[in-house]
Amino acid sequence: MTLSLSLQEIAWKRIIFFLLIIIVPNYLVMQLQMVGPIDDRVGIGTALDLIVILPLLLYFFGFRKRVSWILLCGIIFSGVLLANWMIPSHADAHLTYFNAVVVVLEVGVIAFELVLFSAILKRIPLLIKNYQMEKTIHHHFLLSFSRAIQQTFIFQNKRLNKFGFLLRLVATDLAAIYYCLFSWRKKKQASVEHVNSFTFHKDGGYLGVFYMLVHAMVIEIIAVHMMVAQYSHVAAWVVTIFDLYALLFIISDYKAIRLSPVILSNKGIHFQKGIRQYGFIEWNTVKGIMENKKSPEEVKQDRASVELALHGLEREQLPFVIELNRSMEINQVFGFKKSVERLYVKVDDPYAFRDKVNHYLGM
């Protein structure tokens, strides 16, 4: 049972199937009333479907391995919200019982989280110390912070160790806030002894894409807020908060790209692609670097790879590919992981990068 998931471990087809067979019929019955007038008895059937049946189906059959019960609590809570929206007021007499049960469940989860938070709070000084140590080894914020978490939060109860995933998930949010709000005067990682850095954001059209995304998000935030506010001011502000978070993510991602070049050290390859992907590849796992002969579309279809490159409106040819001896695990946004066998590379000085990689490999 775990909280850590990779995208490959989520059974997307099953999840979509269960959502369709449960939500669509209930929507047709509740909202469109295609089978005629509805009453409390029909409402309790829909409540059971959305709050009990659907969460259990998703929990037991929606993932290729056992996941934490905390995820089940989150799915049940989502089912309650969906039921309150879907069931009309004249058929929701029994819904209050489900709401009360879920409130008690959520209070229990919050109480558990407070106990866990108190244990975490005591180890914050050690976390800071471990982060400063890891920063000298792994250079980039996200990987250093993740490794510091692994070293700091090791509990005697092994079940508690899996909650380190939640902290790695929080690391993405912390990175978004840090890079967006507190890194404007910070300069990129400079080259030091035994370390070489290579930027990959200057040569390309991604800056134009970034400005386009920010411009589009600002317009969307204003337009969507005004549109939703015609129906509900509360819903309008909820949607606006999510849109502002998306804008924060886009800005911080680009700031992180500028401040986090690919770093080659005598230990291996350190990379952080914005706040989307990050990892460390040791030299003894690298087979070699060679010219990439795959087209941009073929590279896009390669699921066992990561691209250390940025594209404009059109995908560009990537000059080099680093082949690995074995599959390596890298980290992705919000705590997800991915296994890779190749790194496609397009840095601003590609041939100097290739020569330096060959130098470390002794070739």
> What are 135-173's pLDDT values in tens digits?
888 888 888 888 887 788 766 555 555 555 666 667 777
What residue spans of the chain are helical by DSSP H?
A: 12-30, 40-48, 54-61, 69-86, 95-122, 124-138, 141-152, 158-161, 164-181, 206-229, 233-259, 296-301, 350-361
Q: What is the mean pLDDT of residues 65-83?
A: 80
Res 21: pLDDT:
92
Res. 322 pLDDT band, cuts 50 70 90: very high
- The closest alpha carbon to 130, from 143, 141, 144, belongs to 144
pTM reported for the whole predicted model: 0.65
Sequence letter at residue 296: P
Residue with tokens 């997307």: 12
Q: Within 10 A of 171 (CB to CB), how many other CB atoms are there?
A: 24
At residue 270, the pLDDT reads: 92
Q: What is the mean pLDDT of residues 335-342?
A: 86
Q: Band the pLDDT of 205: cuts 50, 70, 90.
A: confident
Which has the closest alpha carbon to 203: 119, 290, 312, 122?
A: 312
Highest-confidence range of 3-17, 30-44, 170-184, 252-266, by mean pLDDT? Answer: 252-266
**Spatial distance between the Cα atoms of 152 and 167, rounded to a whole number of angstroms:** 11
Helix (H, G, I), strand (E, B) or coil at 256: helix
CA distance 340 to 304: 4
Place of tokens 């709070």: 121
Q: Which candidate, 152, 156, 136, 155, places its Cα nearest to that of 144?
A: 136
In 3D space, the residue among 174, 115, 176, 179 whose CA is nearest the CA of residue 149 turns out to be 174
Over range 206-221, report the average pLDDT. Answer: 88
More confident residue, 157 or 287: 287
The residue that leads in pLDDT, 69 or 197, is: 197
Q: What does the pLDDT average to over 344-358?
A: 91
What average pLDDT does this structure show over 184-212? Answer: 72
Kindly tell me if the per-residue pLDDT of 193 is higher than 50: no
Residue-averaged pLDDT of the chain: 82
Share of the chain above pLDDT 70, in %: 88
Mean of pLDDT values over 23-45: 83
Mean pLDDT of 85-104: 77
Give the separation between CA 95 and CA 55, rounded to whole angstroms: 17
Q: How far is CA 155 from the centre of its chain?
A: 25
Specify the long-range contacts of residues 212-216, CB closer than 8 Å, at least 24 apart. 213/250, 214/247, 214/250, 214/251
The pLDDT confidence band at residue 89, using thresholds 50, 70 and 90, is confident
Instruction: Report, as an integer, the average pLDDT of 24-45.
Output: 82
